[in-house]
Amino acid sequence: MFLDGPNPTKVQPVPPYKRANPPTPLVLIHDGGGTVFSYFILGSLNRDVWAIHNPKYFDAEPWEGGMDEMARHYIDLIVKAGINGTILLGGWSLGGFLSLTMARMLADNPSSNLSIAGFLIIDSPYHIARSKLTVPTTDMQFDGLPDLVQKAFDNCDLMLEHWDLPSWDGPACGGKDVKVTVAGRSFTLDPGSILYKPVGGPWKPITAQLYKHEKAVDEPRAPPPGVMIRCTQPAEKPEGASDPCLIDLHRDKTLLGWEANYADFIKAVIDVDANHYSVFDKYDQPKMKSLTAQLNEGLEVLDGLAGPRRQKPPLDFF
């Protein structure tokens, strides 16, 4: 599970032919199980790729400060590892929420040696604190999970019971038109549209419902742009269950519930033919090859939006 080495650990180095002008590095955050094995079974993402695992995994201890404490600690881990300048953040499921939280903390700390150019989020549906849910859901049941992974999931459930997503003051990219190039095609997206790639289909712009910000502020904090990998299949429910799984409450929505509910930051959505829990499958090499290609297309979108990489000398964050 790659939990006994440095944290973050390097998943992939930038290829030799890209070292002269390296793409923006990517830091991936663990899912609710706390491990990062899934990221090691991906093919080349053509850049430096790092992964952060849950350092409390073997202790099975909860984070007393919850998601915010995790995010703050992970920023510190990145800085101590010497990763600096402009980076991309992302991750699967819980990793997407932590990425947003880390980016919000960094947006409030302009003296930091880190800046987040964008998010690569792998099936992280819009989050509502579980204590605020008003619809019934089905709890997933997993047979054969290692005890430490199950404990990590249990701790995750406790953290998300009352936790809310961080807020932003405005939309990504200043709410302006952006030009996106991917797979040899160029698109101009206005604030009311995103790029969408269905399973087996071509890229196309689609209309998105915008979030209405309550008030303007003098120095707005806006999220970096993001690309969402969206699983199209619902998770397999326990036998006899009729209510949807929590992870599937927004499964039929192209933006997985983020549209109109959160600051506009998702600029592209890529559909994958999998459910939330089967998107990484070490036994299905064709599926992993396809997922790698889809992630690379998402990274191409983000690279175009990010522009040239900015590097700074290492500094202490906290």
The string of DSSP codes covering 41-82 is TS---SS-EEEE--TTTTTT---TTHHHHHHHHHHHHHHHTT
In a domain, 281, yes or no: yes
Backbone angles phi, psi at 116, to 5 degrees: -100, 115
Q: Which domain holds residue 79?
A: 9-306
**Do 172 and 226 form a contact (C-beta atoms < 8 A)?**
yes
Of 117, 112, 118, give the one whose Cα is nearest residue 79: 112
Is residue 2 one of the residues assigned to a domain?
A: no
> Does 130 reside within a domain?
yes
CB atoms within 10 A of CB 274: 21
- Return the DSSP state at 95: H
- Has residue 122 been placed in a domain? yes
Note whether residue 315 is domain-resident: no
Q: Is 313 domain-assigned?
A: no
For residue 59, CA distances in Å to 34, 94, 151, 156, 292 come to 12, 19, 10, 14, 32
Q: How many folded domains does the chain comprise?
A: 1
Whether residue 193 lies inside any domain: the answer is yes
Q: Which helix (H) or strand (E) holds 159?
A: helix 147-160
Tokens of 7: 């944290």
Q: What is the pLDDT of residue 50?
A: 98
Reference 292, options 305, 279, 309, 301; nearest CA is 279
Closest of 234, 247, 227 to residue 294, by C-alpha: 227
CA gap 69, 281 in Å, rounded: 31
Residue 136 sits at φ, ψ, to 5 deg, of: -75, 145
| Helices and strands: H and E segment counts in the chain | 5, 11
Contacts of 252 (CB under 8 A, 6+ apart): none
pLDDT tens track, the chain, 318 positions: 556 789 999 999 999 999 999 999 999 999 999 999 999 999 999 999 999 999 999 999 999 999 999 999 999 999 999 999 999 999 999 999 999 999 999 999 876 689 999 999 999 999 999 999 998 898 887 888 899 999 999 999 999 999 999 999 999 998 999 999 999 999 999 998 999 999 999 999 999 998 988 777 777 899 999 999 999 999 988 888 888 899 999 999 999 999 999 999 999 999 999 999 999 998 899 999 999 999 999 999 999 997 655 555 444 434
Whichever domain contains 68, its CATH number is: 3.40.50.1820
272: amino acid identity, one letter = V
Q: Say if 316 falls within a structural domain.
A: no
**Which of 35, 43, 47 minimizes the C-alpha distance to 2?**
35
Partners of 181 in the β-ladder: 186
